[in-house]
Structure 1
Amino acid sequence: MNTVVSTDQPGLIDQFGRRIDYVRLSVTDRCDLRCSYCMPEGFKGFEEPEHWLNFDEIERLIGAFARLGVRRIRLTGGEPLLRRNIAGLAGRIATLPGIEDLSLSTNATQLDKHAEALKAAGVTRLNVSLDSLQQARVERINGRDVLARVMTGLAAAQDAGFAPIKLNMVALRGTNDDEIDEMVAFCMERGFVLRLIEAMPMGDTGRNAEYLDLQPVKERLRTQFGLVETALSGGGPARYLGTPDGHFNVGFITPISQHFCETCNRIRIAVDGTAYMCLGQEEKFEFRPLLREACSDAELEAAILHAIDLKPERHEFREAPHKILRFMSMTGG
């Protein structure tokens, strides 16, 4: 089946009938942390800055995606707040016709300096990585003692009016799995949405992570806290449970134990303009050459249609865990 754009409901439809309306855009592959499941200490394989898409190129590319039906954009990295004038870029994307939701994923170490500007620029939602509430564990998992800075960033984000804020916790067997209840209580008290994530076997770091099956955790939390199914969503893969009064929600991102490939609505664009169709496969398309050769809008849109046609049916994290050599930070979070 060929990729088509529906005439009665505009959008990108891949060859498996999935509507692609969500782009995760990496604005840098740099990060100030070295999380054990993401980027190894001493990693030097960063993209050369001259290969990064500049803001004009990003705006043009995202504008083309928006004309073809993409409605959600998430700014990622690496750590996106390390990209100079990130709020300026956010403002340019937020005003593009067709973009309805602009969000950002961050480790929050720089968030106190950027929260107000991001909110004013049009960022509507934040996801913050926080794998532990214990200082020593944060240092061991993230490679830096940054817990106090993250807490300061979270407070600044709430003061700036971001709500709800989602906290992403990669659940690691034998490392922080005994802290899940404490994280639930913390999020309940502070008004955060918690999202528990299974580690993915990407690069040596991901394969060496202590994978934890979240299905038993989900059922235990359901019973322990009286949680029920909820329709809360942010356009991503999380399946949510919440308290009946709606005060607290917890999402489960389970690429291994219960994959969500049949409903996948997203692609990732790396900082160099390479679009990755799936985290667990190698299909990709490079937009930078087209953009730097002054392609026409029609050529750019045709390239997007071709890229979407490359999207595979599903990943093979279970069947081929050693398949993907690139690290998560190289793909975009």
Structure 2
Amino acid sequence: MSLIDEPLPPPAAPAEAEKPAGTLRPASGARLVDPFGRHVTYLRVSVTDRCDLRCVYCMSEHMTFLPRRELLTLEELDRLCSAFVARGVRKLRLTGGEPLVRRDLMRLVASLSRHLACGTLDELTLTTNGTLLERFAAELAGHGVRRVNVSVDSLDPERFRTITRRGDLHQVLRGIEAARRAGLKVKINTVALKGVNEDEIVPMLEWAHGEGMDLTLIEVMPMGEIEPGRLDQYLPLPLVRERLAERFSLIDLAERTGGPARYVRVRETGGRLGFITPLTHNFCESCNRVRLTCTGRLYMCLGQEDAADLRAPLRSSASDELLMAAIDDAIARKPKGHDFVIDRRHTAPAVPRHMSVTGG
């Protein structure tokens, strides 16, 4: 089976379900506020659980992916995203798996761009492994995408292939260059892996900043069973920061980009460096996001298993009422924080699902 697949359409809906995408409007127009007073303004949407790589910290080498029939259609994803935009979500990020392997994804991007045009959405963006970015960068820019995050965990081709189990670094670098030519701002994401790429963090920083790109370092997250142990992979970022501070002047920044990273300015390079630390310093107190899977499950917290089924109310009625009620019920269950732990007493995953299910 090809990785680039469109799901089969769902069973035929009643005739009244032929409602144009994007017409959802809540009766009250109420914004989404969780039990702790946090406004939910950021939706991450996993458009597929499939990926053309098998990164050692993310997936098992021999993954079993969802049957196509279980995935939402692009039209259904559009309708769900539009429902959240109607409730005050200002940022949409498309993720995977690898989002660009989803067949006809540009059709969804083009449709969602209407929210940018009318001002109800501030940003439509994408996280990608970069393997298909050369092909799609210009089209993404044409639909109003202004920046993308690209995962690069090594600048050594052989090490990159080892970490991804099959990736071609040069293909990814061509994708990054195509994105920059298209006018997209690129941020590099690097997962810090103990004994694997920790010696590359300084070269990665110097390369990214030298090319005018931000760099964000990420701690491994205990999600899903994988072959190498997470304890063996885990590199605490406070330790990394201490090492960097011996060589660079790191100036704390108050600015945030809507995600979990905490940023510093590196005086010597002039570039910005982010740290995402779900284990050593979680970012839950300011969490403004929820995650939608390609099957219509809404996870209110990356590190918890509680999820809401939005596919059933989406498909059961053309009316907005059931869907909006399901969203309200889900946000009312958003927890205060996650339970990620990695140490010698907690070597099992905190949650059984792989990161590719919810996109990190």
Tell me, in whole angstroms, the C-alpha distance in 2 between the residues paired with 1:232 and 1:186: 23
Pick closer, same or farther for the CA change 1:223–1:139 going to 2, 3 Å: same
Tell me, in whole angstroms, the C-alpha distance in 2 between the residues paired with 1:207 and 1:252: 23
The one-letter code matched in structure 1 to 2:351 is: I
The one-letter code matched in structure 1 to 2:33 is: I
Tell me, in whole angstroms, the C-alpha distance in 2 between the residues paired with 1:291 and 1:273: 9
Q: Which residue of 2 aligns with 1:80?
A: 99
Q: Which residue of 2 aligns with 1:233?
A: 256
Tell me, in whole angstroms, the C-alpha distance in 2 between the residues paired with 1:246 and 1:265: 31
Q: Which residue of 2 aligns with 1:129?
A: 151
Q: Which residue of 1 aligns with 2:75?
A: 56
Pick closer, same or farther for the CA change 1:200–1:14 going to 2, 3 Å: same
Using the TM superposition, give the Cα deviation of residue 49 of structure 1 relative to its aligned residue in structure 2, in angstroms.
1.4
Q: Deviations over 1:197-230 (max 9, x none)?
A: 0001111229823101001212332452212112
Using the TM superposition, give the Cα deviation of residue 313 of structure 1 relative to its aligned residue in structure 2, in angstroms.
1.1
Tell me, in whole angstroms, the C-alpha distance in 1 between the residues paired with 2:324 and 2:167: 45
Q: Deviations over 1:111-147 (max 9, x none)?
A: 0000000010111210000000011111111011410
**Secondary structure, in 3 states, of the residue corresponding to 2:225?**
helix
Q: Which residue of 2 aligns with 1:323?
A: 350
Tell me, in whole angstroms, the C-alpha distance in 2 between the residues paired with 1:181 and 1:100: 33
2:196 pairs with one of 169, 175, 184: 175
Q: Aligned pair 1:198/2:215, yes or no?
A: no
Question: In the alignment, is the contact (CA less than 8 A) between 2:262 and 2:274 conserved in 1?
Answer: yes
Question: In the alignment, is the contact (CA less than 8 A) between 2:341 and 2:350 conserved in 1?
Answer: no
The one-letter code matched in structure 1 to 2:111 is: R
**Secondary structure, in 3 states, of the residue corresponding to 2:76?**
helix
Q: Which residue of 2 aligns with 1:141?
A: 163
2:319 pairs with one of 296, 303, 306: 296
Structure 1 segments of 4 or more deviating over 3 A?
A: 243-247, 319-323
**Secondary structure, in 3 states, of the residue corresponding to 2:264?**
strand
Using the TM superposition, give the Cα deviation of residue 107 of structure 1 relative to its aligned residue in structure 2, in angstroms.
0.3
Using the TM superposition, give the Cα deviation of residue 295 of structure 1 relative to its aligned residue in structure 2, in angstroms.
4.4
The one-letter code matched in structure 2 to 1:137 is: R
Tell me, in whole angstroms, the C-alpha distance in 2 between the residues paired with 1:280 and 1:56: 28
Using the TM superposition, give the Cα deviation of residue 10 of structure 1 relative to its aligned residue in structure 2, in angstroms.
5.4
Aligned length: 325
Query: What is the TM-score when the length of structure 2 is the normalising length?
Result: 0.86
Pick closer, same or farther for the CA change 1:322–1:244 going to 2, 3 Å: closer
**Secondary structure, in 3 states, of the residue corresponding to 1:305?**
helix
**Secondary structure, in 3 states, of the residue corresponding to 1:225?**
coil
Residues 148-167 of structure 1 mapped to structure 2, 5 A cutoff: 148-163=170-185, 165-167=186-188
1:42 pairs with one of 62, 66, 69: 62
**Secondary structure, in 3 states, of the residue corresponding to 2:247?**
helix
Measured on the aligned residues, the alpha-carbon RMSD in Å equals 2.0
The one-letter code matched in structure 2 to 1:121 is: H
Q: Which residue of 2 aligns with 1:332?
A: 359
Tell me, in whole angstroms, the C-alpha distance in 2 between the residues paired with 1:26 and 1:92: 17
Q: Percent identity?
A: 45
Q: Which residue of 2 aligns with 1:26?
A: 46
Tell me, in whole angstroms, the C-alpha distance in 2 between the residues paired with 1:323 and 1:243: 33
Pick closer, same or farther for the CA change 1:322–1:289 going to 2, 3 Å: same
Query: What is the TM-score when the length of structure 1 is the normalising length?
Result: 0.93
Using the TM superposition, give the Cα deviation of residue 63 of structure 1 relative to its aligned residue in structure 2, in angstroms.
1.2
Structure 2: stretches of 5+ with no match in the other structure = 1-25
Pick closer, same or farther for the CA change 1:62–1:235 going to 2, 3 Å: same
Using the TM superposition, give the Cα deviation of residue 245 of structure 1 relative to its aligned residue in structure 2, in angstroms.
8.7
